[in-house]
Structure 1
């Protein structure tokens, strides 16, 4: 959780540069990393940074992205991955930064293959700080910071990184979505071909740039004529969009999805700020209708424990924590803890986002 009192003025300025680059940058992962590299290193007080995208489904796969000068040991990571002492701890605690000094003594660290090999290849990884960023079920990012001099990461560096993890995870998710959009025109394909999905592109405050073929019919089914603003957008969606535009980067996290429970199913709108171009900033509103009975996708099942699977199925039935507790004969606090853990594992912001992501994974592309 971000607390401005944890940082001095110089650190806050560096953090603002990071969040600005994350929220208003390109949807290209490589460009985001290049743009955030310098302020990130200043804010976390590190010498280099790298991101490892990992698929943790049936078969483990990874790819390193290194902005700035290369880090040779990462180019042969496949040969040392089984000796990566940080991998299991960060996988077990998504969103929690962990550094070498929390796990090993200096002597133990210097005997690791990671350290020994980096000493041979240079630059030497004298200290490592890493955090796991959930992106989508089965896909995570490991963000690693390195110091090349023998000066351990401080608690302030850990606090700094903790304050950015949700921003980083959200940006990685956006980059992943746009990669899919570019490669397969996923969102547009669904919106044009399905009567239960649509999109609008707006240029705030009121100018509509475009809408897909089913958008008008979908909105007229969802709302009565008196629900619409003079701009042609339903008031409830316009109010949420206006609020998002006014928010700073920290306040927006987890608030870009509108969901209402209707007898016919869930009605959702995801607000996506489009990459900055030469003209005014634009937003896409992605509209979908989801059935009440949503099966738990296989990719999500693989990431959860048996008890978390029971809890997840209850959430997909739109049960409250109390109803889930009664059904499973456990306490409400236990349900609350399980819900928080499974949301962290799956990289979702809450119940609404969980429903949206589960329905999205169940749809063929």
Structure 2
């Protein structure tokens, strides 16, 4: 959960500038370059990198911003296992970390990454980074560097933590819709997505377009009293209204879930800009009860399997706890034991491991 932070007038102005840049385009490189420029006004840095991993290639990246020597990235696939910044960020996704929380100072100075940067004429004395765990099979990353020993402050860390969810949401939107939109109209691109039914909505809840199977899906999951012609079902309209009213409302909202004994419906709200107008793509996914890979069952208890399967459905700890009749703290303990048993560091990594069926 994002910690509250009181912004000064200057910080608030730059934050709104950054949010406008994030949601003013569907071109990933344009969005992240704009975000980097605004971010450096809030958190001064000598160098930086913003990137997204390529699907199925965890050490291959699209470097949207690489304010570092090109030579540093030429062989990054070989360098990645020695990149202490990347390793620390992957272990704690969505949490902003400073170099002092990654490695002791003497270990940093002995690291391959540190020595390589100095060979290229850069010092990279201080670092601050966050891994944006935006999808099961890919992630984004933000890293800022200073070439003097002037640590990033608590305030600077809090500012980056405050902005990270909005940057993650914009990155996700660009990856989902950007390539298709460059080939045609955004509404058409959204409606043609495979494996999901889609509604395109103008706030507060008017449906502008829908995919072919969307109406039938809504009829299966929502009672007549919840539906009205040309509008989102009432529960979804409420969820979208809360997202749109939240500070920094350009960020993607948390998923909305409805479940039954036989399966579940997951609904994601994704903002995007179409010809200067903020719209929302409402993505609806039906799923049967997710099954853990058979190989896991020999390593996990029955309860741990139940927890893991609900994580694979996209449920958070509170939802899992409600379903299994225990507390979120208990689910957290079960989930940590799942991570330990399967050798994974996070929820995102667990989902990736499930796709490998091992």
Partner in structure 2 of residue 194 of structure 1: none
Counterpart-to-counterpart distance in 2, 1:150 and 1:262: 55
**Shift in alpha-carbon separation, 1:344–1:178, aligned structure 2, 3 A:** farther
The Cα shift of 1:49 comes to 1.7
Matching of residues 179-328 of structure 1 within 5 Å: 188-190=192-194, 198-205=197-204, 207-229=206-228, 231-249=230-248, 254-255=253-254, 257-262=255-260, 265-274=263-272, 276-291=273-288, 293-296=289-292, 311-313=307-309, 320-321=320-321
Contact 2:122 2:147 survives alignment (8 Å): yes
Q: 1:1-365 alignment to 2 at 5 Å?
A: 1-5=2-6, 7-22=7-22, 24-54=23-53, 60-67=58-65, 69-72=67-70, 73-103=72-102, 109-178=108-177, 188-190=192-194, 198-205=197-204, 207-229=206-228, 231-249=230-248, 254-255=253-254, 257-262=255-260, 265-274=263-272, 276-291=273-288, 293-296=289-292, 311-313=307-309, 320-321=320-321, 333-339=329-335, 345-347=346-348
Task: Give, in whole Å, the separation in 2 of the partners of 1:174 and 1:244.
Answer: 15
> Which region of structure 1 is more displaced relative to structure 2, 234-243 or 64-73?
64-73
Which residue does the alignment assign to 1:351? none
SS of the aligned residue for 1:26 comes to coil
Aligned-partner Cα distance in 2 for 1:309–1:35: 43
Query: Could you say if the C-alpha distance between residues 323 and 266 of structure 1 is closer, same or farther in structure 2, counting changes exceeding 3 Å?
Result: closer
Q: Residues of 1 paired with 2:311 and 2:112: CA distance?
A: 44
Cα distance in structure 1, aligned partners of 2:287 and 2:331: 24
**Aligned partner of residue 149 in structure 1, secondary structure:** coil
Deviation (angstroms), 1:264: 5.5
Whether the 8 Å contact between 2:199 and 2:281 is mirrored in structure 1 is: yes
Q: Which TM-score applies when normalising by structure 2?
A: 0.74
Q: State the alpha-carbon separation in 2 of the partners of residues 189 and 11 from structure 1.
A: 37
The range that moved more, 40-49 or 120-129, is 120-129
How many angstroms does 1:123 deviate by?
4.1
- Deviations for 1:103-126, whole angstroms, at most 9, x for unmatched residues? 556565444443333233244423
Aligned partners of 1:268 and 1:287 also within 8 Å: yes
The change in CA–CA distance for 1:239 and 1:231 in structure 2 (over 3 A counts) is: farther
Root-mean-square deviation (Å) = 4.2
What SS does structure 2 have at the residue aligned with 1:61? strand
The alignment partner of 1:67 has SS state of strand
Distance 1:237 1:97, change over 3 A: closer
The Cα offsets for residues 150-209 of structure 1, whole Å up to 9 and x where unpaired, read as 422222222222223333333333333235766996962536xxxxx5322233346543
- Name structure 1 gaps, 5 residues minimum: 192-196, 349-353
Name the SS for the 1:143 alignment partner: strand
Q: How many Å separate the matches in 2 of 1:173 and 1:280? A: 19
* Number of matched pairs: 334
**1:46 positional shift:** 1.4
Alpha carbons of structure 1 residues 31 and 261: separation in structure 2 relative to 1, 3 Å: same
**Could you tell me whether the CA contact under 8 Å between 2:258 and 2:265 is conserved in 1?**
yes
Alpha-carbon shift at residue 296 of structure 1 (Å): 3.8
